[in-house]
Amino acid sequence: MAYTFKLQATTEYLLDRGPSRSAFSEDIIDDTVASKADGGGYEMTLSRVTRDLYEYTVVYGALTDADRTKIEAVDTACGGSEWFYWTHPISGAEKTVRFSQRPNFKNPYIDRSRISFKLRDI
């Protein structure tokens, strides 16, 4: 399976390996809008969107310097507001996402980096 980040301008970054499956998580975002009614204590609810949106926590345990540079390039190009395509590491589906938490880099090894970030469906 290819692990990719593809920018809107069709620049594609192919990573050598996928994220850690044990640290990967996928949470449904609650997008419900609620307001209390004037009488009787009723609450009116409405969904903002017609499909479930997810937030993904992604952790790479020992990423090479070359792959770290690719993720940094996506972060520089997109920041937290621009969307891009990302390959889901388990299903292999291409998702349209943006960073909801920008990459956090730590260097536990000399030539390897631990990188974590969150992505959100749009």
pLDDT score recorded for residue 10: 62
Ramachandran class of 41: left when φ > 0, alpha when ψ lies in -120 to 50, beta otherwise: left
pLDDT in tens, 39-92: 777 887 777 767 788 999 999 888 888 888 888 888 888 887 889 888 888 888
- CA angle 5-58-7, nearest 5°? 15
Looking at residue 119, what is its pLDDT?
93
- Tally Cβ neighbours within 10 Å of residue 112: 16
Q: Would you state the CATH architecture of domain 3-121?
A: Beta Barrel (2.40)
Q: Please tell me the predicted confidence (pLDDT) of residue 99.
A: 92
What are the tens digits of pLDDT across the range 79-90? 878 898 888 888
Question: In the structure, what pLDDT confidence band is assigned to residue 98 with cuts at 50, 70 and 90?
Answer: very high
Encoding tokens for residue 17?
A: 């390996």
pLDDT at 9 over 70: no
Measured at the CA of 48, the angle between CA 93 and CA 58, to 5 degrees, comes to 35
